[in-house]
């Protein structure tokens, strides 16, 4: 509970009135790499299916060969609730000469906004380990040996060696995207259109150099910039909230199956306690961050 003693400076003249109690925030980032939706259901369920991928040769008069479609396991996601609040006495508000003590709505809104950002960024930080987020094949989002529903082969959406963000690193990831297959192991067309990097000055500068040059940067031979041709106009997302500044990802937004599902948007409530003459303010929200199908994502996690 905030009482007069905790904010005693606000009750005396002499302080500058241009309090530094807020800063400009970055534009929302989570909706650049997560599909955001709402729901009224207490849990989310999903699966994947695939049918046969070949016709069978038969002779004259031979019967048709029949195959059953394959269905993956059911994946269930349950949202989490987040809430916080504060209490401030009436006397504290009455004696505040600067109107700063009672800013509950602003502070709680800021906290709710950052909760969304950090929870979304946690998916990026966990993408290579799968400690908290796993897909339908029970593997992390980014892995070197994803399993398929109707094929014995495995598929990588992570290079065998995690190369730092560079022409070489992007080339390795583009090569993986170019060889993407479906659940039967057959080639499919996927083209990354979104780049997610960390808040690392070197990587940001490298990205700007690559996509603002018709010739390949960092070389002396005026080589054609093939990386830019492979992804001409990427959506560049700089994640300021993931804890690993060096990991990076390419996403095909058409097949991106990573979601933020909002069960209850941020709600603000307040009440007044008759006994203590204190106002209570709270904010709460419910949402789920999850993914089911890993296809459409590629990434690297260099040290």
Q: How many domains does the chain have?
A: 1
Position 9 scores a pLDDT of 45
The residue ranges of the chain whose pLDDT is under 70 are 1-21, 97-102, 104, 220-222
Residue 16 lies in a domain: no
Rounded-to-integer distance, Cα 282 and Cα 188, Å: 48
Residue 231 lies in a domain: yes
- For residue 243, give its domain range: 4-10+24-53+62-300
Please enumerate in sequence order all residues whose Cβ is within 8 A of that of 46, keeping only pairs 6 or more positions apart, or say none: 74, 75, 77, 136, 292
Rounded-to-integer distance, Cα 255 and Cα 232, Å: 19
Other beta carbons within 10 angstroms of residue 203's beta carbon come to 22
Position 272 scores a pLDDT of 86
Residue 17 lies in a domain: no
Residue 270 carries which DSSP code? Answer: E
Residue 18 lies in a domain: no
CATH of the domain at 212: 3.90.1690
Q: Where are the beta strands (DSSP E) in 48-128?
A: 49-50, 70-71, 75-77, 80-89
Residue 15 lies in a domain: no
Residue 19 lies in a domain: no
Position 277 scores a pLDDT of 85
Cβ-in-10-Å burial (0-12, 13-18, 19+) of 139 comes to: middle
Residue 87 lies in a domain: yes
Residues in a beta bridge with 77: 44
Residue 75 lies in a domain: yes
With contact defined as beta carbons under 8 Å apart, do 185 and 148 qualify? yes
**Tokens found for residue 17:** 């009135």
């Amino acid at each position: 509970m905030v009482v007069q003693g905790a904010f005693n400076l606000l009750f005396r003249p002499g302080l500058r009135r241009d309090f530094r109690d807020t800063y400009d925030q970055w534009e929302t980032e989570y909706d650049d790499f997560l599909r955001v939706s709402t729901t009224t259901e207490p849990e989310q369920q999903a699966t994947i299916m695939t049918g046969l991928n070949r016709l069978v040769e038969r002779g004259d008069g031979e019967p048709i060969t029949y195959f059953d479609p394959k269905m993956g396991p059911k994946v269930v996601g349950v949202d989490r609730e987040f809430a916080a609040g504060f209490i401030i006495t009436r006397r504290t508000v009455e004696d505040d000469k600067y109107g700063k003590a009672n800013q509950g709505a602003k502070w709680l809104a800021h906290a709710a906004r950052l909760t969304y950002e950090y929870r979304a960024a946690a998916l990026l930080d966990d993408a290579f380990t799968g400690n908290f987020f796993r897909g339908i094949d029970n593997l992390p989002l980014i892995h070197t040996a994803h399993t398929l529903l109707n094929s014995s082969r495995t598929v990588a959406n992570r290079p065998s060696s995690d190369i730092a963000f560079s022409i070489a690193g992007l080339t390795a990831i583009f090569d993986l995207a170019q060889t993407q297959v479906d659940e039967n192991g057959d080639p499919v067309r996927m083209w990354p259109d979104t780049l997610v990097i960390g808040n690392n000055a070197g990587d940001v500068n490298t990205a700007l150099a690559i996509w603002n040059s018709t010739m390949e940067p960092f070389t002396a031979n005026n080589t054609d910039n093939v990386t830019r041709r492979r992804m001409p106009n990427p959506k560049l997302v700089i994640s300021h909230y993931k804890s690993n500044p060096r990991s990076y990802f390419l996403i095909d937004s058409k097949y991106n199956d990573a979601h933020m599902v909002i069960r209850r948007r941020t709600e603000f409530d307040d009440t007044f306690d008759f006994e203590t003459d204190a106002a209570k303010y709270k904010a709460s929200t419910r949402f789920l961050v999850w993914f089911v199908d890993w296809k459409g994502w590629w990434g690297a996690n260099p040290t």
